[in-house]
Amino acid sequence: MSTASTASTLSPSGFDFVRALVHRESAIVLAPGKEYLVEARLSPLARSRGLRDVQALVEAVRSSPDVESTQLIVEALTTNETSWFRDGDPFTGMVQVVLPSLLAARTPAEPLRIWSAACSSGQEPYTIAMLLKDALPGAGERVRISASDISREMVERTRGGRFSQMEVNRGLPAPLLVRHLTRAGNDWQVNPDLRRMVTAFECNLVGTLPRTGPFDVVFLRNVLIYFDIPTKRSILARVRALMRPDGWLFLGAAESTLGVDDAWERVPVGRSSAYRPTRPNRGA
């Protein structure tokens, strides 16, 4: 992320206000030194309200707080960059290791439930959908993918399944592009058969978790890094409660359950690794 081009207008107390607001609403920790991030992410919101800069936006919200502004600030600061096949190894592992294991353990009538727990604009759930569609006959009926994000805007984008030219350039192999997406004006849109596999909804991981489980596989990647340890522990325990006892959890490459929640076993999955519950969590 570039920091050079953004001149900060934000006062130290303004930054502290935003930090406290984001932590209260989402439990996400904005470390000191992230002033540039706040500046860069909130500038469009300030401009859209005709305010001169981010400091003016913060002052307006501080003097008269409202739910909509709070939501928009949280969304702007919790929306993460994403791409197709981001860190591709977990996806390969899902198809080559996890899927055969699940198929062996389930009857053909049982649905396979997958949760993409911080789906951003939808690339992750649709990556999962297209891989399973290609690997598993009948996946369209059998696989149910829950896709959630804290941001209403991202959930709506996921539902639409529309991606700009720049977005489809980011890591989507051309053979999959032409098999699973079609042109829609200047954009590309995921085909209806894949969109039917994905149900998108808002979910704040520190709030109420989805009731669309129990899940066979959970993708919770590159999101725990934003939380403090007690919050990570709570999220992992509550996610565990929503998983099948023989389920699989994928975290980001820089994330681990180690030292956070000891009820998981790390197992190699191809060139990647996943986590499996060693005991169910009935208390959550």
Q: Which residues bind other proteins (CB under 8 A)?
A: 83, 85, 88, 165-166, 168-171, 173-175, 177-178, 181-183
| The token pair that represents 42 in the structure block | 């909130």
**Total residues belonging to the chain:** 284
C-alpha to C-alpha distance for 269 and 76, rounded to whole angstroms: 34
- CB nearer to other proteins: give 180 or 244: 180
- CB nearer to other proteins: give 111 or 173: 173
Tell me how far, at minimum, the Cβ of 178 lies from other proteins, in Å. Answer: 5
| The token pair that represents 86 in the structure block | 């981001």
- CB nearer to other proteins: give 173 or 192: 173
Tell me how far, at minimum, the Cβ of 174 lies from other proteins, in Å. Answer: 4
DSSP β-ladder status, 272-277 and 143-149:
unpaired
Tell me how far, at minimum, the Cβ of 110 lies from other proteins, in Å. Answer: 33
- CB nearer to other proteins: give 191 or 256: 191
- CB nearer to other proteins: give 9 or 127: 127
Tell me how far, at minimum, the Cβ of 95 lies from other proteins, in Å. Answer: 15
Tell me how far, at minimum, the Cβ of 181 lies from other proteins, in Å. Answer: 8
- CB nearer to other proteins: give 175 or 259: 175
Q: What is the DSSP string of 75-138?
A: HHHH-----TTTTSHHHHHIIIIIHHHHHHHS-TTS-EEEEETT-TTTHHHHHHHHHHHHHSTT
CB 273, CB 260: distance < 8 Å: no
CB 168, CB 186: distance < 8 Å: no
Tell me how far, at minimum, the Cβ of 189 lies from other proteins, in Å. Answer: 11
**Crossing angle for the helix pair 54-63 and 12-26, to the nearest 10 degrees:** 60
Q: Give 33: exposed, middle or buried? Use CB within 10 Å, 0-12, 13-18, 19+.
A: exposed
- CB nearer to other proteins: give 109 or 166: 166
Tell me how far, at minimum, the Cβ of 173 lies from other proteins, in Å. Answer: 5
CB 198, CB 122: distance < 8 Å: yes
At 160 the three-state DSSP class reads helix
